[in-house]
Amino acid sequence: MVTVEFSWKRETPEDFIVKEVAEYPLIPKGEHYLYILVKRNLTTKELARALGFSYAGMKDKLALTSQFVSFDRFLGELEKGKVDDESWYILKFIGRTQRKLKIGQLKGNRFAVNLRNFEREERDWFINYYDVQRVKNNSQRGKELLKKLFEKPKRKLKWSENFYIDAYLSYLWNKSLEKFLMERTKGHFICEKEELFFIPEKGFNYTTLPKFWTILGYKKKLLDSESYYREVLKEEGFEFEEFLELLRKLRIKGDYRMTYVKVKELKEIGSYLFFFLPKGSYATMFLKHVQRV
């Protein structure tokens, strides 16, 4: 099967512009203060640590991004900060809310991506894989952690432990769905940072796929995914039933993730491709699917 390298590259933050889409009710006497954060060449997490705000979604570093954040104090109508000539942020006060923002409390994101010399084909859908930002390195650390937890399962995991385990479960989600897809359609592999992603052929009728694919956990039904998870876990060196039992002991419930995404508001203006994606989906994964092979 053909394998090609992912050819899209960002050279400046302005090559990847993101605007978060969300709605939060404003309450005149709310206990929290809602701001729009515009940042360049900074991660959401590092700014949150430095400034002390809550947020609904993580945004890339090498990007120009806009998102909502909340504080438990008033910083003023407009706040600006500069780390260096390449890295800065602006905070604009919107109003007060009753509750602080939490991860996942957003509808999605609008993207403007500079294609530059990137050659693409016409496609308005993609398989909703977790991308390298999620699985590269992190998933392997999650796997090693789970091996240790077999010996002494914990009831309460640290945030970092949950993060790495979630990354490994994301990797398993990708690989189990990939096996399912490869039984049903032709395609090719796109490679980025040594991670491979199976891309179904352009004419594949993606609407025949199950709408959701299970993220492993002890409380969620496996639906179409069980035999594929069994196969992947065996390849990874785990026994299926023992793995689910460990997740139960760790109180990892599981979830359902959309198998494919239909891209909205898709248009090309000049060298930029504009589109909207629901929360949890990766713009770079859409680009992998539209790369001309």
Radius of gyration of the chain (CA): 20
* Confidence (pLDDT) at 159: 86
pLDDT at 212: 97
Over the chain (293 residues), what is each successive 10-residue block's mean pLDDT? Answer: 95 97 94 98 95 95 97 96 95 96 95 96 97 93 94 81 96 98 97 96 95 96 95 97 95 96 97 97 98 95
CA distance 205 to 250: 38
pLDDT at 128: 98
Is it true that domain 23-106 has CATH number 3.30.70.20?
A: no
Condensed to tens digits (0 to 9), the pLDDT of residues 224-247 reads 999 999 999 999 999 999 999 999
Q: Give the active site residue among 15, 60, 131, 166.
A: 60
* Segments making up each domain of the chain, as ranges: 23-106, 123-262
Question: What pLDDT was estimated at residue 182?
Answer: 97
Q: Let me know if 255 is a catalytic residue.
A: no
What is the bridge-based pairing of β-strands 78-84 and 272-278? unpaired
pLDDT at position 67: 98
Whole-number pLDDT of residue 129: 98
